[in-house]
Structure 1
């Protein structure tokens, strides 16, 4: 079974492309969603976050206090690296276990915006990068998150440039005004061979 990474910058349409692959019967592991769940349910993550950031990092009902943690990361950027160092190994292990349950499929996909940022891309047989023009991406995120263009641009500056992701990828999906489905079907056919 092939392991395929699906990545792209903010506003490129990773979630939509992932849904199309699911419609084709391909299992998709959405890293952000799994990480959120694991931050609430995994005792290793919980213990390390509590030790690092204090009891306030979880609410009284034992769920992650995302607002509190986001505030720490905002004021202390190195805290993001600390959180990632705690969470990413557990997510990686969880993905490996998840793959074992999907052995009957020709390939599986892990969707993650930070495949290249973290070096995670090395764990995949193939990488698919989704890209779109910057003005389209900014507009999408502004609508989706109800935020300003300046905030979106600031987020984009924290990510690896699109051209670098494209250069390191095996497949590129263009999500401007091009038709997505034919691009996805072409990649799916290739990966099933």
Structure 2
């Protein structure tokens, strides 16, 4: 089965593009949502995270203590790298099990913001990068997440792989720049992927 990765920085519109593929009947794996699930229910990962970041990583009820983990890891590059190195392999395994359950689909999509950074692009046959100009991305995120400031968004963008680097490594680019229609771009790729089945 063909495995297609969709990636791109914050505010490019990955989720919108993935919804379009889902409407066409393509199974979509949302890596961010599944990572949260895996961190909550994968007992081996819970133990690894507790060993790495301390008993406060989970509440007494077994819920992930996101506030504590964010405060502990997100502002320390080494701890963030450690967190990612623990979580990403478990998400990769979860994705492989999910793919096995999609046997009737012509192809599947994995949406992940950190596809290159996490090395999960290696599990994919082809990569689509969703692209949008920086000012459009900032405007979208400010509208979507009113609690974030422009400074917050620029800091997130600064930590992500540069868009030009992502585009250079991808087989396909969808331009979601408010100038070009996205649906025809999605339909064209859909037909291409089906033809490769």
What is the number of residues matched between the two proteins? 193
Residue 84 of structure 2 is aligned to residue 81 of structure 1? no
TM-score, length basis structure 1: 0.97
Q: 1:45 matched to which residue of 2? A: 45
CA displacement 1:122-162 (0-9 Å, x = unmatched): 22111010000100001111122221111111110101111
Distance 1:53 1:118 in 2: 20
Q: 1:166 matched to which residue of 2? A: 167
The ranges of structure 1 where at least 4 consecutive aligned residues each deviate by more than 6 angstroms after the TM superposition are: none
Q: 1:14 matched to which residue of 2? A: 14
Distance 2:158 2:76 in 1: 17
TM-score, length basis structure 2: 0.95
Structure 1 residue 6: Cα displacement: 0.5
- Residue 40 of structure 2 contacts residue 63 of structure 2 at CA under 8 Å; is this kept in 1? yes
- Tell me how large the CA RMSD over aligned residues is: 1.0
Q: What are the ranges of 5 or more consecutive residues in structure 2 without an aligned counterpart?
A: none
CA displacement 1:75-121 (0-9 Å, x = unmatched): 42211111111111111011111111111111000000111112221
The residue matched to 2:173 in structure 1 has which SS?
Answer: strand
Q: 2:23 matched to which residue of 1? A: 23
Q: What are the ranges of 5 or more consecutive residues in structure 1 without an aligned counterpart?
A: none
- Residue 5 of structure 2 contacts residue 109 of structure 2 at CA under 8 Å; is this kept in 1? yes
Structure 1 residue 171: Cα displacement: 0.9
Residue 191 of structure 2 is aligned to residue 189 of structure 1? yes
The residue matched to 1:116 in structure 2 has which SS?
Answer: coil
Distance 1:150 1:52 in 2: 30
Q: 1:94 matched to which residue of 2? A: 94
